[in-house]
Homo-oligomer: A and B are copies of this chain.
Amino acid sequence: MADAAISAGIAPTVGGVVRHVAIVDRPIDVARLSSLVEDDGVGAISLFLGTVRNFHDGRDVAGIDYEAYQPMAERELRSIVREIGDATPGLRLAVEHRVGTLVVGDVSVAIAAGHARRAPALAATQLVIEALKQRVPIWKREHYLDGERRWVDPTA
């Protein structure tokens, strides 16, 4: 269930390709995530970090609650990583999204992509974050400095 988000196991290699996804309820270890996509054949690593910032839509933000439909979120992440990985031979991908209550500056999502060349690595992080925002069942409730809390609806 959503509140009991637990780290998924690592699936280190699938046909030699790293594909790791997890929903975690603790701080994301970015260095470890990056190390998962390292390899002697990798010449480029692209990392993307989403962080909690102190304003949104003109309001001062103190923090964010992230909630996930955990098994489905991991399933969708795995599906995204599989689609992008299958389209790019040699791509190594690792993605973690954090849930729970985060404060300004905390990392909410981290995406690491490793490839022999830089263009596929750079493209992969962008494709993953765009797809994640489209289809992974994760929600956020912003805490404003004035005390109000509101679920964010990007479609509104």
Interface residues of A (CB under 8 A from B): 30-31, 34, 38, 40-55, 104-105, 116, 118, 121-122, 125-126, 129
- In the complex, how many angstroms separate the beta carbon of A135 from the nearest chain B beta carbon? 17
The answer to whether residues A51 and B44 also contact, given A38-B105, A126-B122, A129-B118 and a CB cut-off of 8 A, is: yes
- In the complex, how many angstroms separate the beta carbon of A45 from the nearest chain B beta carbon? 4
- In the complex, how many angstroms separate the beta carbon of A23 from the nearest chain B beta carbon? 20
Report chain B residues within 8 Å CB of A48. Answer: 44-47, 118, 121-122
Q: A-B pairs with the 4 shortest C-beta distances? A: A43-B53, A47-B47, A45-B49, A40-B54
**Interface SS majority for chain A:** mixed
**Which of chain B's residues has its CB closest to A45's CB?**
B49
Q: Contact: A49 with B44, CB < 8 Å?
A: yes
**Which of chain B's residues has its CB closest to A56's CB?**
B43
Q: Contact: B53 with A42, CB < 8 Å?
A: yes
Report chain B residues within 8 Å CB of A49. Answer: 34, 44-47
List 11 A–B pairs whose Cβ atoms lie within 8 Å, in order of A's numbering. A34-B49, A38-B105, A40-B53, A40-B105, A42-B51, A43-B50, A43-B52, A44-B51, A48-B122, A53-B116, A122-B125
Q: Contact: A51 with B38, CB < 8 Å?
A: yes
